[in-house]
A and B are shown apart, each in its own frame.
Chain A
Amino acid sequence: MSIKKINVISRNPDQYLRETKRDIHKVQRNYDPDLHPFEAAREYKLALNAVKLEKVFAKPFIGSLTHTEEVSAISRHPSRLSCIFTGTVDGEVLLWDIATQKRQWQVQGHNGKVWCIVGAPDGNSFFTVGNDKTIKRWSLEDSDLPIDTWLCDTMVTGLTHHRYRQEFVTCGQRMLLWDVGTKAPKTSYDWTTTGDRSDATTTCVKFSPVQADVFASGDHSNNLVLYDTRAREVKKLKMSMRINSLAWNPMEAFILTAASEDYNVYSFDIRNFDNKSRVVCVHEGHTSAVTDIDYAPTGREFCTASFDKSIRIFRTTEAHSRDVYHGKRMFRVNCVLWSTDNKYILSGSSDHNVRIWKAQASEKMGILAPREKAAKNYNEELKNKFGHFPELRRIGHHRHLPKHIYNAKKEHRAIKDAQARKEANRRIHSRPGAVPFIPFKHRSVVGLQDEIPSTSGFSPDQSGGGDEDDEEEDDM
């Protein structure tokens, strides 16, 4: 025999098999690329599966909180994560526990619609504004009587509290700055366009959470106005349609997002309010007026409520919505709220319900096992990597929409096309330059009126050139 050395593969099965039935299986790995063919194609298939599974698990509706009347206002609890306040059109104010979906407290707060509920930053009280021209402050200790009541001579439709100081601003027929300690407003920020006060009734007002002295408002004469309580400096931007609601980006303090009556949502950069680049993004998608808006605490996303019986979720940098939620029985949505833990969205609608939705439609609720977490992260990464492939994009973007939204979308598309065609025709048959190209971003912005507020009022014709009236407004 002439064998000098011999070695043949001979495996001991004990090294490859588990010892007992309770043991875990042994997994021998060899990362040699030759043993793992079709890496790219298999990964693509996994990405496709991930997108499909995302659609399979996309069941965002969690539950609803039933009211006796149309829900008109919704607000976070100032100190508890799992609680919210809601207000109805018949003046009831309710405290709900989201975890149990049970009502905890209820009071007939106002005579008529509750316009707005705002938690006080001290964490011990909250404010409500009603149709009965009163502002009430309630303690959190379940008492049926308010701590404070402010009576106004005019209609109040909104309230926002300063983040640090004991001050709040109300909107309505007049813009008033109140001190919590006194019963009369400190300052007024009235600024009418025609001298007729009802013309400048403000619909919404919001303090910036970061630049605490800055606040913004939208009014019935289609203005978006920026105020500063320190300097009384005002910047007023005329839009083509009314602003229904406002929200500040909690992470990027200079981004102000406005929900408009023209079905769109506009993100403004207030640093560039004077020039053309003020509109950062126009978020499209709704097929009716947008009624309310709320930012996610991460500042990456926001949700909007609309008259088209749906709510949409937008990424701040993207023009089209990431997701749209609708229900068979959900009617016009009046108010919307993104929970502070970034997990839930609450929407109050005119069908007497507050609905609880998941912020991520396909997210699994509850604690994830480490392997589940790893699988989730892996799927996310795969979706990032292959998300641009046509098939994945088609599946990921597909949404089942109610017929009325689908039809309205089609109709709006036709209208837009017709308008574009008409403009193009007009351009062809006019002198060159007579019909300018206006970017879509700037279309609904009429222009800026750079003025200091005054009670005297001025006509828009005079203000066209940017003249400044130096009159001081009256302190009240």
Chain B
Amino acid sequence: MGRGGGSSNNNNSHWNQQQQHKFKPKWMKPESNVKREEKDGVTVTEYTLSRRQLKRYAGRKVVDPKLLQKYSKGEGVVQKRYGRKNSILRHKMKKKEEKIHQAEEEAARTETLLTESSGVLEAEEGTYTAHITQKDIRNAVDITTAAKGFDLQLPFGPYKMRFTPNGRHLVLGGRKGHLASFDWVTKKLHTEINVMESIHDVCWLHTEQMMAAAQKEWVYIYDNQGTEIHCLKKLDRVLKLEFLPYHFLLCTSSESGFLSWLDITLGKEVIQFPTRKGRIEIMCQNPYNAVLCCGHAKGTVTMWTPNKKEAVMTVLCHPRPVKAIDVDPSGRYMATTGLDRMVKIWDARNMGEQLQSYLLPHGAMNVKFSQKNLLAVSLGNVVEVFKDVISGGASKSYMTHKADGIVTDMQFCPYEDILGIATYKGYSSLIIPGAGEPNFDALESNPYMSLSGRREAEVKAVLTKVPSNLITLDPFTIGQVDVPTLQEKVDAKAKLIHVKKPEIDFTPRYRMKGKSGSAQKFKRKQKVKEGQQREYLKAAMEQRDTLLSDTTDNNTKQEDKPSEVLDRFKPKKKVQKKTEF
């Protein structure tokens, strides 16, 4: 046997060697498979591949695993969990998994079809990109791009601003009542009005046709002609506005610490409740899961959904008041700044885990992520943009800009290399190469949308309006298996152990011959009731006993398990002796 086994091993190793030898890339050698010919002074090389090599390289190009990871839809179902019992189910699951995998791969392959490339800025050796001014950039780029960087001197500041999700339109709201919206690329003004009240925040609704402004008392909705469409008196003394585009919810935070969600398709309030955290000035949405993040003076960041009147998460981020929060468009990272002069980057899906922290010369009043994860912070009238903040490589700023006035609001324009900043003295747009996503998805948000396209998109968006009760920290809970939590399991078990007597509703039948007197009736009723309850409790007790005995058995077994050599000298258990007799 041993010899036979040995020989077979030898054979195997020999076979392997042969294999290895065969797989050496012979075709790389120029002599064997390459033909070179000179034709009209040009050398033409022909590579001929053997049949085996052709087989190896046949089919479609293999997708880069890193790219596959980007388009991954998750791990998939573990086949073993379903066991071997139900082969039909197993087969179905396998087919489904294959389809999902195929979809991932096809999506990854489309990467080659993307036309635009991301922006780049490199400085010459010995200099820094931070030293490059906006003027230098405007001189260096083409004329249409240069026109995208501009300054507006406006007298009704301080201003608040917001871009539409497709990055085409801009709304500005001045504290002194100036409300203006325009197509900032073509510089075409939609409307400009004075609302004769203070404006605290502005926000686009689902299209550029409608915008909301948080004014002194209430929130107003204007159309792009400047006509007041609605006055929302339910939303009073609002400081911050957010719009959840997929849920059609207008979210507000107020001076009195109230959060409210308003469904703009119905005009109905979904929920409004006090946070009991005081004035909420700092609020942003997480675009990944539509959860609202609020920053507080105690240095905490809280997260809120319309389905729970308590914060779904509270994190202590800074020892001093939080001044600004932002979540990156993919929802992976959150940046917070505080009066302790720190900028901190957090893992937004696993809060409490701080990824990076940077010390700034002053406390930053604004912080914003771009689509390509550049981070802009404003320190007084200075705007600094950092690159690679997540990997920790941002020791020096990528770009800096000194504005005319103190920066009050800013936002990176989606799908453009532009950072818009609103100050006390107006608005300016800065060109920040490499900030925006170069390739948009026209079915999601299209900067070149036509009128009919917008109408169609509006209808489709309303049709796929996500119900507000699906807002959770993990947006994929709806597509996952509903597994009971540990708490639910514990509760279920406790319910089994502590059973109550069931209430028995029994009315005795009427009987003749003096058997239906009230006393007789009561007796009969009691008899039936007790009998049934006793039976129920008996069954419940039995169930409980089996449950408890199971757990105790497990415990004893666990105790028995670690046996050692010296155990034999221990005194034997009495119970065992009894069983022997």
Contact = CB atoms under 8 A, between A and B. Distances in A.
Interface of A: 1-11, 13, 15-17, 25-46, 49
A310 B477 CA distance: 41
29 contacts: A1-B132, A1-B136, A2-B123, A3-B137, A3-B140, A6-B141, A6-B433, A8-B137, A8-B433, A16-B448, A17-B450, A28-B115, A28-B439, A28-B446, A32-B70, A32-B439, A34-B329, A35-B437, A37-B246, A37-B287, A37-B331, A37-B475, A38-B290, A40-B479, A41-B475, A44-B479, A45-B467, A46-B463, A49-B464
Interface in B452-485: 453, 463-467, 470, 475-479
Given A9-B415, A15-B115, A31-B110, A38 B466 contact: yes
Contacts of A1: 132, 136, 139-140
Contacts of B116: 9, 11
A9 B416 contact: yes
A42 B417 contact: no
Interface in B413-450: 415-417, 431, 433, 436-444, 446-448, 450
Contact of A10 (B110, B137, B144, B470): B144
B49 interface: no
B43 to A, nearest CB: 34
A295 to B, nearest CB: 23
B136 A40 contact: no
Nearest to B117: A7
A40 B124 contact: no
Contact of B127 (A2, A6, A16, A45): A2
A31 B437 CA distance: 13
Given A10-B142, A26-B442, A43-B479, A4 B122 contact: yes
Contacts of A44: 466, 470, 478-479
B121 A3 contact: yes
A92 B154 CA distance: 91
A11 B437 CA distance: 12
Nearest to B107: A31
A30 B415 CA distance: 12
A7 B470 contact: no
Contacts of A7: 117-121, 433
B438 to A, nearest CB: 5
B565 interface: no
Q: Which residue, A9, A30, A43, A45, has most C-beta atoms of chain B within 10 A? A: A9
A371 B504 CA distance: 60
A100 B120 CA distance: 70
A400 B442 CA distance: 42
A46 B464 contact: yes
Interface string B49-86: 00000000000000000000011000000000000000
Contacts of B536: none
Interface of B: 70-71, 107, 110, 113-125, 127, 131-132, 136-137, 139-142, 144-145, 246, 287-288, 290, 329-331, 415-417, 431, 433, 436-444, 446-448, 450, 453, 463-467, 470, 475-479
Given A6-B137, A31-B107, 17 more contacts: A2-B132, A3-B121, A3-B122, A3-B136, A5-B122, A7-B121, A11-B447, A16-B448, A27-B442, A28-B446, A29-B110, A32-B71, A35-B440, A39-B476, A41-B246, A44-B478, A49-B463
Contacts of A37: 246, 287-288, 331, 475
Contacts of A32: 70-71, 437, 439, 441
A43 B440 CA distance: 21
A27 B448 CA distance: 10
A38 B70 CA distance: 16
B444 to A, nearest CB: 6
Given A8-B145, A9-B118, A30 B439 contact: yes
B476 A40 contact: yes
B330 A34 contact: yes
Contact of B464 (A26, A35, A42): A42
Given A2-B124, A10-B141, A38-B475, A30 B246 contact: no
A49 B466 CA distance: 11
Contacts of B439: 28, 30, 32
Nearest to A49: B463
A385 to B, nearest CB: 9
Contacts of A13: 448
Contacts of B113: 29
Contacts of A36: 441, 444
B132 A3 contact: yes
Nearest to B431: A8
B452 to A, nearest CB: 8
Contacts of A31: 71, 107, 110, 441
A46 B331 CA distance: 23
A397 to B, nearest CB: 20
B553 to A, nearest CB: 28
B132 A45 contact: no
A451 B576 CA distance: 62
A8 B288 CA distance: 27
Contacts of B127: 2
Contacts of A11: 116, 447
Contacts of A33: 70-71
Contacts of B464: 42, 45-46, 49
Nearest to B471: A41
A4 B123 contact: yes
B142 A30 contact: no
Contacts of B463: 45-46, 49
A25 B110 CA distance: 20
A7 B119 CA distance: 5
Contacts of A45: 463-467
Nearest to B452: A25
Contacts of A16: 447-448
A31 B123 CA distance: 33
Given A5-B120, A6-B140, A29-B442, A41 B287 contact: no
Given A2-B132, A3-B121, A35 B145 contact: no
A41 B438 contact: no
Contacts of B142: 10
Contacts of B416: 9
A91 B439 CA distance: 74
Contacts of A46: 463-464
Nearest to B109: A31
Contacts of B70: 32-33
Q: Which residue, B136, B290, B417, B439, has most C-beta atoms of chain A within 10 A? A: B439
A227 B356 CA distance: 83
A216 B195 CA distance: 85
B119 A40 contact: no
A28 B415 CA distance: 13
Given A34-B329, A43-B479, A25 B453 contact: yes
B478 A8 contact: no
Contacts of B450: 17, 25
Given A1-B136, A3-B137, A45-B467, A40 B478 contact: yes
Nearest to A28: B442
A181 to B, nearest CB: 49
A9 B438 contact: yes
A14 to B, nearest CB: 10
A3 B115 contact: no
A465 to B, nearest CB: 40
Contacts of B137: 3, 6, 8
A451 B71 CA distance: 67
Given A2-B132, A13-B448, A28 B290 contact: no
B119 A9 contact: yes
